[in-house]
Amino acid sequence: MDFALTAPILARFGLGDPPWLDPATAGAIGLIAIVVAFLVFKLVFPLIVRFTQWTPTDLDSRLVGSVRWPVTFGILVLGAYLAVTIPLGLSGSEQDRADTIARAAGIVVGILVVVGLLSSAIDWYLATLATRANHVVDLRLFPLLRRVGGVFIYGIGALLVLDVMDINISPLIAGLGLGGLAVALAIQPTLANLFAGTYVMTEGVISTGDYIELESGMAGYVVEVGWRSTRIRTWGNNLVVVPNARFAETIITNYQQPVPAVNVYVTCGVSYDSDLDLVEEVSREVMTELVENSQSANRSYGSWFAFDSFGESNVDFWLFLQARDRISSFDLQSALIKNLHRRFKENDITINYPVRTLQFPDGFGPESIGATATTTSRPPRPSRTPRDFNPSLEKQNGPDVDGVPPGGGESPMGGPDGPDGPG
């Protein structure tokens, strides 16, 4: 390479244009690049991070730290390119090759910077805002977006590198399109569950720990809401795995939403002879006592009582309380029934059993049924007379069977001893 500035200086010392000058210059440029990269990595970036500590959040610190290695690598790549192209006399084809490699390396550095910034931003969001707000959707969705986004960016970068290196990527893109379509058709159920899982989590209708009931009647506690399926633990302590595609299409009853509190509704009835004012007074006293003393009751909700209807054997009424959660509702309902039953017995308030009265038309009733049964009953069996008794025949033929003498008498077939006559 021709150095217009250094040639006179070298000629004064009688060096002219020595053959070692170009390699030495390339080595010097490379050494300078290494030193600059070291200073940037060890001094510049820590200084920038120190200045960012004065900001309200640490997002800028995370972003600066994420590009530390890619920028250092970019400085080294730039130094290597300058060390090769400046001192060394490259031909046209060699220069084009060096430019191509440099552009490909630059794309790689840019991809690393973008992926680092994206990952740092997502990590900062998950560590600060999502954790404080306890957004389960964000905690599950953003890590997936980070992985998918990283793969997508790396794929785009790989295509750009191939294009820069003069590799025809059109067949590759077409093949990827057809392959992607085939893969999408093959994993269609999985993709359906994935999108359904995204829908379920983004809607926020259920979360881990909720007690839910599906349209099919299956009920239990939600153990985990995943991307492909939702796991439910039933009352029998069995684990049921429901695909999200089916889970998103069914009707769901969430007993934990909008609040964990569960209403306790109890119906009862008292005799028509009861003092309804006393019934209401006793019922309200029982509910007030439970609301004030029971840990299962929601005190802020209060209690409700009202007569409902005239039943078949009782005057019906209902009582209404609210428990803290579903488990507490069982204890509260049981205590309400027991205390109400005890107080009714103490105040002689009767809860009638259902009574039904049967009415028969004229000529039909218990008397006619008894008479009919008497007339249609089996006639009495004829008894043996003394004249039919023969001791010898009794001893010969055995005991009497069904009132027929062993030695004779008319048989059911019409003859004395059967259809063929005496034997």
- Pairing of β 315-323 and β 252-254: unpaired
| Residue 381, phi-psi category: left (phi > 0), alpha (psi -120 to 50), beta (remainder) | beta
Tokens of 398: 């055995």
Smallest CA-to-CA distance from 320 within 286, 349, 294 is with 286
Alpha-helical (H) ranges within 126-187 are: 131-133, 136-164, 170-186
Structural domain boundaries in the chain: 6-186, 204-254, 262-346
Q: What gap in Å lies between CA 234 and CA 222, rounded to an integer?
A: 9
| CATH entry 2.30.30.60 includes domain 204-254 | yes
Instruction: State the pLDDT at residue 26.
Output: 79
For 80, other C-beta atoms within 10 Å of its C-beta total: 19
Q: What gap in Å lies between CA 313 and CA 219, rounded to an integer?
A: 35
Q: Are 66 and 82 in contact, with CB atoms under 8 Å apart?
A: no
Q: What gap in Å lies between CA 277 and CA 264, rounded to an integer?
A: 23
Q: Are 29 and 80 in contact, with CB atoms under 8 Å apart?
A: no
Q: What gap in Å lies between CA 217 and CA 219, rounded to an integer?
A: 6
Instruction: State the pLDDT at residue 418.
Output: 44
Q: pLDDT by residue for the chain (423 residues), tens digit each?
A: 444 555 555 555 455 555 656 677 778 888 998 999 999 999 998 898 888 878 777 888 888 888 889 999 999 998 888 888 877 666 777 778 888 888 889 999 999 999 888 888 888 877 776 555 455 555 666 777 778 788 888 888 888 888 888 877 777 677 667 666 676 666 666 666 666 766 676 667 788 888 888 888 888 999 888 777 888 998 888 998 888 777 777 788 888 878 888 899 999 999 999 999 999 999 999 999 999 999 999 888 889 999 999 988 899 999 999 999 888 999 999 999 999 999 999 999 998 887 666 676 776 666 665 555 555 555 555 555 555 545 554 444 444 444 444 444 444 444 444 444 443
Contacts for 142-146: CB closer than 8 Å, 24+ residues apart: 144/227, 146/118, 146/119, 146/122
For 216, other C-beta atoms within 10 Å of its C-beta total: 10
Instruction: State the pLDDT at residue 357.
Output: 66
- With 0-12 CB in 10 A as exposed, 13-18 as middle and 19+ as buried, what is 74? buried
**Residue keyed to tokens 């069982």:** 330
Prior bond of 70 cis (ω within 30°): no
CATH number of 262-346: 3.30.70.100
Q: Are 252 and 212 in contact, with CB atoms under 8 Å apart?
A: yes
Smallest CA-to-CA distance from 229 within 261, 192, 181, 204 is with 192
Fold match between domain 204-254 and domain 262-346: no
For 39, other C-beta atoms within 10 Å of its C-beta total: 12
Q: What gap in Å lies between CA 36 and CA 74, rounded to an integer?
A: 11
The 3-state DSSP class for residue 231 equals strand
